[in-house]
Structure 1
Amino acid sequence: MHEGTISARLARFITASVRASGTPMWRFERFPDLGPEVLNDDLARISTPSALALWEQLTLTEPGPAIGALITEGTPLGTFGLWDYLISTGDNLAESLKVAIGHLACIGDVAAEKLQVIEDGRTFTVRHATGSWVPDVVEAIDLFALAMLSTRASAATQRPVIPLEVTLTHRPPRTYQRLAAFFGTRNIVFDAPHNSITFADNDVRARLPKATPGLQQILTEHAVLTLSASKPVLRWHDRFRATLDAALREDAASLDRVAQRLAMSPRTLQRRLAEHGTSWREELEQTRHQQAMELLRRTDLPLHSIATRVGYSDARALRRAVQRWEGRSPNLVRRDPVTVGGPAEA
């Protein structure tokens, strides 16, 4: 039941990071699961598409995808709730990380995020992979995951834990000094087969300062109870719309791609939509309408750019669509955005 969602704690942190970047928050006003009453409820589960919209906005700020790592700098234990304490209360870092990874649902989307531990007696490596989204967003999330492991390792041991190596599947940036300073090593390998962070075995086997016999078991049981009591804020149809909204922004709004993100076949998705009295075509049209109006009223983007963003071949196709929806041209929408219009009746 937690697939396709993240914890309110994590969503709260990403939202705060977007605000701190100075980004206007108007884009997120219509997201039903990003309001303060939802984000402040630790039992709420926020849809992954809503979280991805936040991540996309973050990557538009300087320094791009690297922001995924840099926003974790200086975050104390407890920032991410129960998941942080699972990492810091076991006998040693290695065993605590395994327990926390086994309870990834406490913080992230287990349908999209994969963590794997590899040990060889000398080193301790954690690999990470995420879903198929916009490349910059994927890179930011990958860096965030590795940075989380790095910062939590140092916080749990109460001393600097410098990774032996960080590997990324992404292409090297023009400069990565800030990432090298963040991780404490220049041994960052790009175009690698996996995203991973590797620690020396001695660093992860030392007894943790906060290790308390039996405490981690209590926290693990609490994690199970918390997850059973939590629930997604969005109903299925709302989650579908959030997924479609995100896919359209990423130029991936095909029936097959959206069905894949919802972990169902295209035929099943069409059947579910029919049960809700709608269809794929109607939903795609409505989402294009919402996004186009948002971009026309809130930005100065040229018509051809807006057309591309909402899935039309050119500005002429967008003009025809706006005329159909609003009964007036895109220029009039921009000139007088408060005039009562609205989509034509079906």
Structure 2
Amino acid sequence: MLNGTVSARMGRFMVDAACQAGMDPARLIRLPDVGDTVLADEFARVSTPTALLLWEQIVLGRPAVHAGMHAVQLAPMGTFGVWDYLLTSGETLAESLRTGCGYVTVIGDPSTEKLHVTDDGRLFTVTHSTGPAEPDVVAAVEQFVLPLINRRATEGLRRPVVPVRVTFRHRPPNTLGPLTDLLGTRNIEFGAQVNSITYLAEDAHAPMPQTQPGLQDVLRSHADMTIASAKPVLDWHGTFRITLRATFHDPDLSLASVARRLALSPRTLQRRLGELGTTWRDEVEAVRVELAMDLIRDSDIPMRTIAARARFSDARALRRAVHRWHGTTPGDLRRRHEHPARPGREDGSAEPPTDPPTPDPRV
């Protein structure tokens, strides 16, 4: 039941981080499962597609290589409730991390966020994997999770804990300084098979100074209750619409691929859409319009990039569509929305209509 969702605590954190990165508050109104009432409910669950849309806003507002690291700095101890304390209250760091990684469901999406622990008596390693998304979003999530675990390790032991090795699947950023400063090591590998953080046994098996007998049992019971009482917020159509938008960048986007993500057969998905008086083509067009307009109004990215993300053949096709929808140009819409001047264009104008065409993926 909890697959495809994250906790309300994670939702609150993502909303705050996205707003600090410059997300237009008006956009939050269009996300139905991150309203104040929802986020105030400890047992509510926010859809993973909504969380990914918030990550996109964080990446848009921050340099992509720094988005995840900046998010870690916004997450002091206690931000994620019982999960934070599971990570820091065992007899040793190894026991704490093993328990916290086993309870990733209490905070994240159990179908996409995977944490695994290995301990050979000499080295203690936590590996992490996440689900599909835009490459810059995946990189941001990867550079959030492992540094967050390292921050909790340091907070739990009440002293700096320096990993002996960290690996990431994504490509290296242009600058490594912020990441090495955050992790305390230069032994970082990119383009690896897995995301991982490794500690020496002497750190992993060091006693946690705030350990109290029986506390982990109490915390696990609370985590179990939280999971058992959790309730996703969105109805079926809301989940479908956000899932469609979150997968809009996939080259193989199709009714069948979205049905697979929703654990439905293509025929069942068609039938449910028909029951709502809509069709796959109508839904794709609605998301195309919504995505294009959001990116035009709320970002500084070039028109050719917006066209590709919204599945137009090229920027000229996007401009024609905007004129058909609103009787104006993308540049005029941006100026009306009072964006600050964009890099390279002091007047904030859109790019000239000479962008190279982008192939139109089949939908």
Gaps of 5+ in 1: 339-346
Match of residue 340 from structure 2: none
Q: For residues 332 and 118 of structure 1, do their structure 2 counterparts lie closer, same or farther at Cα, with a shift above 3 Å needed?
A: closer
Residues 235-314 of structure 1 aligned to structure 2 (within 5 Å): 235-248=235-248, 253-295=253-295, 306-314=306-314
CA displacement at 1:299 relative to structure 2:
6.4
Match of residue 52 from structure 2: 52
Alpha-carbon contact 1:69-1:146 (below 8 Å) kept: no
Alpha-carbon contact 2:9-2:81 (below 8 Å) kept: yes
Cα-to-partner distance string for 1:120-168 (whole Å, 9 max, x where unaligned): 1101001111111111100111111101110111111111111111001
Match of residue 344 from structure 1: none
Deviates more, 1:121-130 or 1:23-32: 23-32
Alpha-carbon contact 1:73-1:151 (below 8 Å) kept: no
For normalisation by structure 1, the TM-score amounts to 0.87
Cα-to-partner distance string for 1:5-59 (whole Å, 9 max, x where unaligned): 1111112112212222334333332001122222222221111111111111111
Alpha-carbon contact 2:296-2:330 (below 8 Å) kept: no
Match of residue 182 from structure 1: 182
CA displacement at 1:333 relative to structure 2:
11
Where 1:124 maps in the other structure, the secondary structure is strand
Q: For residues 252 and 46 of structure 1, do their structure 2 counterparts lie closer, same or farther at Cα, with a shift above 3 Å needed?
A: farther
Distance 1:297 1:174 in 2: 28
Deviates more, 1:197-206 or 1:304-313: 304-313
Distance 1:224 1:208 in 2: 23
Deviates more, 1:28-37 or 1:310-319: 310-319
Match of residue 106 from structure 1: 106
Where 1:142 maps in the other structure, the secondary structure is helix
CA displacement at 1:252 relative to structure 2:
6.2
CA displacement at 1:321 relative to structure 2:
4.9
- Whichever residue aligns with residue 128 of structure 1, its letter is H
Distance 1:260 1:167 in 2: 30
| 2:327 corresponds to 1:329 | yes
Match of residue 343 from structure 1: none
Question: What RMSD over aligned residues (CA atoms) do the two structures have, in Å?
Answer: 2.7
| 2:142 corresponds to 1:142 | yes
Residues 1-346 of structure 1 aligned to structure 2 (within 5 Å): 1-73=1-73, 75-248=75-248, 253-295=253-295, 306-315=306-315, 317-318=317-318, 321=321, 326=325, 329-331=327-329
Where 1:110 maps in the other structure, the secondary structure is coil
Where 1:126 maps in the other structure, the secondary structure is strand
Alpha-carbon contact 2:65-2:173 (below 8 Å) kept: no
Match of residue 341 from structure 1: none
Q: For residues 112 and 155 of structure 1, do their structure 2 counterparts lie closer, same or farther at Cα, with a shift above 3 Å needed?
A: same
Alpha-carbon contact 1:47-1:239 (below 8 Å) kept: yes
Where 1:133 maps in the other structure, the secondary structure is coil
CA displacement at 1:101 relative to structure 2:
1.4
Q: For residues 227 and 68 of structure 1, do their structure 2 counterparts lie closer, same or farther at Cα, with a shift above 3 Å needed?
A: same
Distance 1:237 1:226 in 2: 25
Distance 1:334 1:164 in 2: 52
Distance 1:14 1:7 in 2: 11
Distance 1:247 1:171 in 2: 22
Q: For residues 260 and 143 of structure 1, do their structure 2 counterparts lie closer, same or farther at Cα, with a shift above 3 Å needed?
A: farther
Where 2:136 maps in the other structure, the secondary structure is helix
- Whichever residue aligns with residue 160 of structure 1, its letter is P
Deviates more, 1:291-300 or 1:150-159: 291-300
Cα-to-partner distance string for 1:256-301 (whole Å, 9 max, x where unaligned): 4323332344344323323433321121122223334445566687
Q: For residues 201 and 265 of structure 1, do their structure 2 counterparts lie closer, same or farther at Cα, with a shift above 3 Å needed?
A: farther
Deviates more, 1:36-45 or 1:243-252: 243-252
Match of residue 355 from structure 2: none
Cα-to-partner distance string for 1:94-113 (whole Å, 9 max, x where unaligned): 11211111111111001111
Distance 2:80 2:212 in 1: 20
Q: Percent identity?
A: 48
Aligned residues, how many? 336
Q: For residues 304 and 166 of structure 1, do their structure 2 counterparts lie closer, same or farther at Cα, with a shift above 3 Å needed?
A: closer
Where 2:61 maps in the other structure, the secondary structure is coil
